[in-house]
């Protein structure tokens, strides 16, 4: 994969805790709402199975991958399952380099300028300020002022409908939606309504 699909994405859905028995229904609800990037964290039940199922069902219309990827071996496992996106909570340059060797998209987490530039040098396609809620809008603004404009920066962790505007104004290119979008036990219908609300809000912000 050479195209940076993340450059055109505003929302990443993070399905932490999703199970294989429900992942297709949840994934369909998210796609129908207009979110085309789906991340299954590796600390979910049978995450590689869920990723494979999502890729089989929606790979032609969505970017499917894993979150909480901590080691190069994790990235290899995700690639074997069919995932095309590797997301980490931290800046691990070994993970980033292995991700790019595998031809996958890399979106590591960072909290400082040092981490951000190390990630970019290692080949990251996008960055996620994490946890954005704790880092704050001022941190996003300061970092965006010095980071290369061609690398999308997502605000992830502690971001909700009430803070989208301020992070967007500070330069955020998009957002990762975790528990504010999906929690284990939620139905596809419940997730669909929330996803639709986020999609509408983000479209209004960036159009």
Catalytic residue selected from 22, 100, 115, 128: 128
Q: Name the active-site residue from 22, 39, 115, 168.
A: 39
Buried b (16+ CB within 10 A) or exposed e, 127-147: bbbbbbbebbbebbeebbeeb
Distance CA 179, CA 16 (A): 8
Are 23 and 54 contacting, i.e. CB atoms less than 8 angstroms apart?
yes
**39 annotated active-site:** yes
User: Computed over its alpha carbons, how large is the radius of gyration of the chain?
Assistant: 15
Is 183 one of the catalytic residues?
Answer: no
Say if CB 88 and CB 122 are below 8 A apart. Answer: no
The pair of three-digit structure tokens given for residue 115, joined into one six-digit string = 């981490």
Catalytic residues: 39, 128
């Amino acid at each position: 994969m050479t195209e940076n699909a993340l450059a055109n994405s505003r929302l990443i859905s993070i399905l932490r805790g999703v199970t294989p028995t429900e992942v297709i229904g949840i994934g369909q609800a998210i796609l129908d709402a207009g979110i085309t990037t789906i991340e299954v964290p590796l600390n979910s039940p049978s995450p590689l199975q869920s990723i494979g199922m999502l890729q089989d069902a929606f790979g032609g219309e969505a970017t499917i991958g894993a979150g909480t990827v901590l080691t190069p071996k994790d990235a290899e496992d995700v690639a074997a399952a069919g995932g095309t996106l590797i997301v980490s909570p931290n800046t691990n340059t070994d993970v980033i380099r292995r991700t790019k060797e595998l031809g996958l998209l890399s979106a590591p987490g960072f909290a400082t300028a040092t981490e951000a530039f190390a990630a970019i040098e290692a080949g990251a396609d996008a960055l996620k300020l994490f946890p954005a809620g704790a880092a704050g809008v001022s941190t996003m603004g300061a970092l965006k002022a010095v980071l290369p404009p061609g690398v999308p920066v997502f605000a992830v962790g502690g971001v909700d409908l009430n803070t989208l505007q301020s992070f967007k104004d500070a330069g955020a290119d998009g957002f990762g939606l975790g528990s504010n979008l999906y929690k284990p036990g939620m139905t596809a219908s419940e997730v669909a309504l929330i996803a639709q609300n986020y999609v509408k809000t983000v479209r209004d912000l960036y159009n």
